[in-house]
């Protein structure tokens, strides 16, 4: 169990650098379970845009982490 928590901390910590400043302002990682990262976006347009780039973002995250930790990314608009 501690590895799962450690992986979540590592993924969240790598997020801003991996995706860049503009995306990190519009999308925030919310939780990480079983290799799946769940990210909330500020607007439906961002959800669509990032969903189309999910494989690139996944690759950048895993490169930042030095291993394949993130297997999938799911985006959804944050609830108000």
Q: How many domains does the chain have?
A: 1
Distance (Å, whole) CA 79 – CA 9: 23
High-pLDDT (> 70) share of the chain, %: 92
pLDDT at 2: 44
- Domain enclosing residue 26, as ranges: 2-77
The β-bridge relationship of strands 36-41 and 72-77 is parallel
The per-residue pLDDT for range 50-64, each reduced to its tens digit, is 999 999 999 999 999
pLDDT at 6: 85
CATH code for the domain of 19: 3.30.300.180
Distance (Å, whole) CA 24 – CA 17: 8
Contact 7, 32 (CB under 8 A): yes
The per-residue pLDDT for range 11-22, each reduced to its tens digit, is 999 999 999 999
pLDDT band at 41 (very low <50, low <70, confident <90, very high): very high
Nearest to 67 by CA among 12, 9, 5, 11: 11
């Amino acid at each position: 169990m501690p590895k799962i928590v450690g992986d979540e901390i590592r993924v969240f910590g790598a997020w801003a650098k991996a995706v860049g400043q503009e995306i990190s302002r519009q999308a925030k990682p919310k939780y990480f379970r079983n290799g799946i990262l769940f990210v909330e976006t500020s607007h439906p347009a961002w959800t669509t845009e990032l969903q189309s780039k999910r494989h690139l973002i996944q690759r950048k995250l895993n490169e930042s982490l030095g291993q394949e930790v993130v297997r999938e990314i799911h985006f959804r608009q944050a609830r108000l």
